[in-house]
Structure 1
Amino acid sequence: MNHLSVDDKLLLADLALSQKYAKELVQSELMEIELGLREAKNDRVKKLNDLLVILHKTGY
């Protein structure tokens, strides 16, 4: 199984930010957790919520 390199992950993150998809990705993840479609620990949910706030404040 091939894994993404750190550079690949950074490029993907940059694309998500530059194309304004980052907020949508985080919102989608939170919705799936809320609907019970994905499991997540409380610390991940908090980090996702914090990230969403940052994305809103910075215009992403």
Structure 2
Amino acid sequence: MNQLCDADKLLLADLALTQKYAKELVQSELMEIELGLREAENDRVKKLNDLLMVLHKTGY
């Protein structure tokens, strides 16, 4: 399976931000964790919540 290079990852992140999908992606991930559809460490959940707050405050 092919891996994304760092440049591709940055481009994808930029698209998610500029198209205003970043907040939706984070919210979706948190919902899946809450519903038990996806497992995550507490540290990841905290980081996702922090990221969601940053996205909200910055208008993304």
TM bucket by the smaller chain?
Answer: over 0.9
Matched, 1:4 2:29: no
Shift of 1:2: 0.3
| Aligned 1:1-60 pairs, distance under 5 A | 1-60=1-60
- What is the total number of aligned residue pairs between the two structures? 60
* 3-state secondary structure, aligned to 1:45: helix
- TM-align CA RMSD: 0.2
* Structure-1 separation of matches of 2:4 and 2:15: 15
* Structure-2 separation of matches of 1:6 and 1:37: 28
Equivalent position amino acid for 1:28 in 2: S
Tell me which stretches of 4 or more aligned residues in structure 1 moved more than 3 Å.
none
Equivalent position amino acid for 1:30 in 2: L
Identity of aligned residues (%): 87
TM-score (structure 1 length as normaliser): 0.99
TM-score (structure 2 length as normaliser): 0.99
* 3-state secondary structure, aligned to 1:56: helix
